[in-house]
Structure 1
């Protein structure tokens, strides 16, 4: 593993481990409230606006945030992929049009506006916000998968399988999965980043989780006015979000880079 891949992996691993194991570690923090934006008895990061230890709040505030983002992307990608593949493999042009024109209309709608409307109409329901985020992600996913699947469905390999009279669906599916896996994996990382962005934006605006929760984005929004006197109350959760987003994208780019491009870069450096 290259040094930069180690760095990218650490950027992803730190927030994920904090979200997974953090609530267990935070159990040892003092349960009583301390002075707001002051020193803490448990960690050197001080306290937040509610007198909670900043480190304990960061340790316990990532699990729901990441689980909601991951589940939202998974469901949105399942729905979007089904629409995209069905449109790419449609035997008639009108079927493709019927499936994709609603996606084009959805792409024209402001994503944050849809999420804000869903949050306001449901009084900040986390489920409604997650559904709204998934809804706005379906259209770009369907468009991307359709574009990717179109070249695969009409490829010479698929034509050869049809000419041979191949009737086993798994043969077509196996080739399609192999051919589409790299671009879809790269796009999946991008959509996860988008889901984190939308979820963080909703929570930052006070439309998502309860404003007294320890969610990372909520903590940034709730403590931002005290950035100069209690910087860690904002910086720590913000750094965890940034590390996750940057790490996921850089690691995906590194892992999914074309081997020929990597070889060309190595040759250039050697020269």
Structure 2
């Protein structure tokens, strides 16, 4: 809020790893030790040993604390059922697809609890889809289950890290989401044209600062990134954010990125209002 964000998050300060946190709270998972992921990094990969079940809320206390101390609207990120299923060992279900659908029903229960607590902005994180884009239909069905019965005024976003987005586009236009969150900073936005044909239907949440570098981007650099998003959607359909969670970064670096991002957004808004940016050709001044 000090940096000027319009919407805030808890920062996931109560969470450890994005799958482990939820697996520890869902009946049916167990942990048997870490597995090597890459380099010297290890992940405490859980196993699904019996049918998954919802026992008690996972994030309501986190949301209630954050919303009580925040003056701005609060977004709640939830690891999606596809990632929760495919980033675990499946020892209980005939197929991981069936596990994903059961997990989607549990996520739906959690979203209902969050909505009852006052949440109006939910983000489903599905990084696993980037590695298996051929499963976009499974994710679509899972999202249908998550969104079932959720009031229309509740904003649902989908975040997919990395990957070749052309392998899931335009299929995402059929997803029951209000916003699609993309991570393009580390690819110089070369994939932006993917979203221009056919027309991009949900709102676009564009990551404009890199969560994986400890260098604070300049305001001018961030403004150039924002202009890339204006090639896809009009300003009223563009949300600006970091391209992934800033939790791994030193606090001063994370704050510096956020502060510069907000400054860049305000300057772009002013330039749009004054006519300095041609929305038919937002890169024209480059």
Larger C-alpha radius of gyration, 1 or 2? Answer: 1
| Greater share of helix | 1
- Could you state the TM-score of these two structures normalised by the residue count of structure 1? 0.25
> TM-score, normalising length from structure 2?
0.24
